[in-house]
Amino acid sequence: MRIDNILLDELTQKAKDSSRLRFHYDLRDSEDDNSMRMLNALEPGTVIPVHRHRETSEDVVVLRGRVEEIFFDNEGNEIGHCLLEAGSACIAVHVPINQYHTCKSLESGSVIIEFKNGRYDPNGTEEFLIQY
């Protein structure tokens, strides 16, 4: 499978057509694969709830466009951020285990790839803050 502009364009169009303004594409080989590897097309205005992963860290790489990874303390106060821009000096960030965070799209057509141990499970390993 190629991850190229044709695929990224398709995912971007699906994100634009979605009421959530985002669309993910699972890269795992099967449901038995206990990792999380996914492409995520993010349009400006999408809201990814502030969350943390209790059992694993996460890596976020911007493939196209520009996003901001924002970090929060346990009370929901912003404590830092990292601008990720394709082709720039900073294209990726490592989010430590138990670090509350979110990702904000700053440019139409932005696509990230996310990696973490363990599949996505909002009822198991994810913990959400009530409000961003």
CATH of the domain at 63: 2.60.120.10
* Mean pLDDT, residues 107-117: 96
Measured between alpha carbons, how far is 14 from 22 in angstroms, rounded to an integer? 7
User: Is 76 domain-assigned?
Assistant: yes
Q: How far apart are the first and last CA of the chain?
A: 36
CB-CB contact of 122 with 49 (8 Å)? no
Q: Which of 67, 27, 10, 26 is nearest to 43 (CA)?
A: 67
Q: Which domain holds residue 31?
A: 5-118
Kindly tell me if the per-residue pLDDT of 125 is higher than 70.
Answer: no
User: Is 128 domain-assigned?
Assistant: no
Over residues 12-30, the pLDDT tens digits come to: 999 999 999 999 999 998 8
